[in-house]
Amino acid sequence: MKESYTHGHQTPVLNAHQQRTIDNSAAYLRPYLAPGMNLLDIGAGPGSITADFARLTGKVTATEIGEEELNLCKRHLLDKGLTVEQGISAKFSVENVHHLSFSDNIFDIAHAHQVIQHVSNPIQALTEMARVVRPGGYVAIRDADYESFFWFPASSKISRWRELYLQVARNNGGEPSAGRRLLSYARQAGLSGARFTTSTWTYTGEEAQQLACSWAERIEQTVLGQQIVETGLTSIQELQEVAQEWREWGSQPGALFVIPHGELLWQKP
Ligand SMILES: C[S@@+](CC[C@H](N)C(=O)[O-])C[C@H]1O[C@@H](n2cnc3c(N)ncnc32)[C@H](O)[C@@H]1O
């Protein structure tokens, strides 16, 4: 099945992803983190969550789909001084979550944030994550649920943006509403007894405005907009109108945007 990463790794995407921390993106996992743990961060992206993990556990392996993408995370950890000299063991590996190159039972935690929504076979991905975790260790996954996003004031053009995003993400082999499906994926992968929780990102005031500008830029400047037009889903003109609407919507004083997520935590017996 076709699979490609919908967002790409251009600047507006990286700027948005670099805001992520354990506090805002992996709080459900925090009680299980301890110094000395060997943590695998799959699809680490620009690495801001990975850096937080490194500070807490001292031992991380970050993966990405290619060398170029992996270098983003490497550079971030270096920039933050998270090096061997500071007592941090950071390893980096190009990996596809469907076929991890690691031996069985070696990590204390296998973590993936906003990755499973982009993969063509989430059941296989979870099976692989479970394989590389040691007995007693954890698989930890968090994904947004695009069809649950809500915002105010209403905007038909932002509704249209979501419709286009859902189509392009599904054309790319992903499931943008993976959040609600995580527990079902776990059952199908044989991960019984997994715990499912939810949490949200909430944007108001200046943060809503920044989010709106970020989506406008992502439509105008990244592979996302290109893919929407190239796959014939809409015209460049409609996309420009949607980008413009994002900016206008975000500048309204009461604008708010909420992104619900599903979270899965499974302990290997
Ligand atoms: C939305 S980003 C999330 C980055 C990071 N985890 C974060 O939350 O900031 C998703 C990442 O998953 C990676 N990815 C996509 N498909 C993948 C696959 N099949 N296996 C492993 N990683 C994948 C992408 O390259 C991308 O960097």
Domains of the chain: 11-267 (3.40.50.150)
CA of 114 to the centre of ligand 1 (A): 7
Peptide bond into 269 cis (omega under 30): no
Closest residue (by CA) to atom 10 of ligand 1? Answer: 115
Give pLDDT, residue 214.
92
Neighbours of 29 (CB within 10 A): 21
Other C-beta atoms closer than 10 Å to the C-beta of 53 total 26
Q: Which among 143, 66, 76, 71 has a CA at the least distance from the CA of 112?
A: 143
Confidence of residue 88 (pLDDT cuts 50, 70, 90): very high
Asked whether the predicted pLDDT for residue 109 surpasses 80, the reply is yes
- Return d(Cα 238, Cα 229) in angstroms, integer: 10
Predicted pLDDT of residue 2? 65
How confident is residue 213, by pLDDT bands cut at 50, 70 and 90? Answer: very high
| 96 CB near ligand 1 (under 6 Å) | yes
Give me the mean pLDDT over the 6-32 stretch.
Answer: 86
Cβ contact 17:50 at 8 Å: no
Smallest CA-to-CA distance from 201 within 15, 44, 20, 12 is with 20
User: What is the largest distance, in Å, between two alpha-carbon atoms of the chain?
Assistant: 54
Does the CB atom of residue 5 touch ligand 1 within 6 A? yes
Residue 104 has pLDDT above 70, yes or no: yes
Cα angle 108-110-180, degrees, rounded to a multiple of 5: 135
Phi, psi of 11 (to 5 degrees): -50, -50
pLDDT band at 10 (very low <50, low <70, confident <90, very high): confident
With a 6 A CB cut-off, is 118 part of the ligand 1 pocket? yes
User: Rounded mean pLDDT of the chain?
Assistant: 94
Q: Distance between CA 260 and CA 179 in Å, rounded?
A: 8
Phi, psi of 218 (to 5 degrees): -65, -35
pLDDT at residue 1 greater than cutoff 70: no
